[in-house]
């Protein structure tokens, strides 16, 4: 919808204040691709970019060397795209988008189908674009990638936004509590249950205990009480809820986890 490829059944989209459904001018300063970019496989990466640059006109073709350098394909530019790996084609898609000098880059599932090395390269590339001052909107179901890359997140459920804001704030609101392991967890449970400011005491998934604390002071007091009780602490660490935990917390309910909608993320909005 943001790229003007399909029409919304309700609601509206604005890119820099303009509607992509009514004017192609709304896409000025916008570029990207959906899942896998398409190229002529029997032509080289360079020729494919030259053709695309011709469509945009102006100085687009002159930006090809810089775009190829940015995505790390300068040494393979004259090879046929049909011989490219999936990761190389994804990077060529970003190079094609860069010819437009976008202020906003829309990437839909750019890491899907990539091997670990390809995913690492894609992360580094997206971080590099962001560092240059570009806003990147990343749509992905790979929540680990999203958590590592993005600083703002919009989680969508059934066409509505379940959450929108900074990833750091989402994690702060979700809390996560603490993990406690001791030399005697039975004693530790009794001590913690009697301690002021400690709540939600429960068995840890992989042993030990987990709990919530109203303040750092409450955690310090618990540590002292455990030492005095003879239950020696082997681990006491804060637990941070993962993005996957938060995603299911916001979306599960009527929908089954397996049918949960995909999150859409924005990287380093400027």
Side-chain-side CA neighbours of 161 within 13 Å: the count stands at 8
What is the assigned CATH class of domain 24-170? alpha beta
Cα 180 to Cα 210: distance, rounded to the nearest angstrom: 6
Return the pLDDT at 51.
94
pTM comes to: 0.68
Phi, psi of 176 (to 5 degrees): 145, -25
CA angle, corner 55, sides to 50 and 56, nearest 5?
95
Phi, psi of 180 (to 5 degrees): -125, 125
24-170 and 176-238: same fold?
Answer: no
Return the pLDDT at 257.
42
Copy the structure tokens of residue 265.
Answer: 């993320």
Report whether 34 contacts 28 (CB < 8 A): no
Return the pLDDT at 205.
64
Question: What is the SS3 assignment for 93?
Answer: helix
Calculate Rg over the CA atoms of the chain: 24
Return the pLDDT at 265.
46
Residue-by-residue pLDDT tens, the chain, 270 positions: 888 888 888 888 899 999 998 888 899 999 988 878 899 999 999 999 999 999 888 888 999 999 999 999 999 999 999 999 999 999 999 999 999 999 999 999 888 888 888 888 888 999 999 988 899 999 888 887 888 888 888 888 887 888 888 877 776 666 668 888 888 888 988 998 988 888 888 887 667 888 888 888 888 898 899 888 988 888 888 776 677 777 777 777 544 444 444 444 444 433
Nearest to 200 by CA among 187, 218, 182, 183: 218
Domains of the chain, residue spans:
24-170, 176-238
Report whether 49 contacts 74 (CB < 8 A): no
What is the assigned CATH class of domain 176-238? alpha beta
Report whether 2 contacts 20 (CB < 8 A): yes
The DSSP line for 245-262 is HHHHHHH-SSS-GGGPPP
């Amino acid at each position: 919808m943001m790229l003007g490829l399909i029409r919304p059944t309700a609601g509206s989209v604005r890119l820099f204040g303009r509607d992509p459904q009514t004017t192609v001018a709304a896409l000025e300063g916008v570029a990207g691709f959906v899942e896998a970019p398409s190229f002529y496989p029997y032509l080289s990466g360079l020729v494919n970019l030259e053709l695309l640059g011709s469509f945009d006109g102006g100085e687009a073709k002159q930006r090809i060397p810089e775009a190829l350098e940015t995505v790390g394909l300068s040494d393979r530019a004259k090879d046929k795209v049909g011989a490219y790996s999936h990761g190389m084609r994804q990077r060529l898609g970003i190079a094609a988008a860069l010819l437009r000098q976008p202020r906003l880059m829309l990437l839909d599932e750019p890491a899907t189908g990539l091997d670990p090395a390809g995913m690492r390269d894609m992360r580094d590339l997206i971080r590099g674009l962001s560092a240059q001052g570009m806003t990147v909107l990343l749509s992905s179901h790979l929540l680990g990638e999203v958590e590592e890359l993005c600083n703002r997140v919009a989680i969508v459920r059934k066409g509505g936004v379940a959450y929108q804001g900074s990833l750091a704030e989402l994690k702060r609101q979700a809390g996560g509590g603490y993990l406690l392991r001791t030399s005697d967890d039975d004693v530790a449970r009794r001590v913690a249950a009697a301690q002021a400011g400690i709540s939600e005491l429960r068995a840890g998934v992989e042993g030990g205990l987990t709990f919530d604390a109203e303040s750092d002071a409450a955690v310090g007091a618990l540590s002292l009480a455990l030492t005095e009780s003879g239950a020696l602490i082997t681990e006491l660490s804060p637990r941070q809820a993962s993005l996957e935990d938060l995603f299911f917390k916001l979306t599960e309910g009527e929908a089954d986890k397996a049918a949960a909608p995909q999150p859409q993320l924005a990287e380093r909005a400027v």
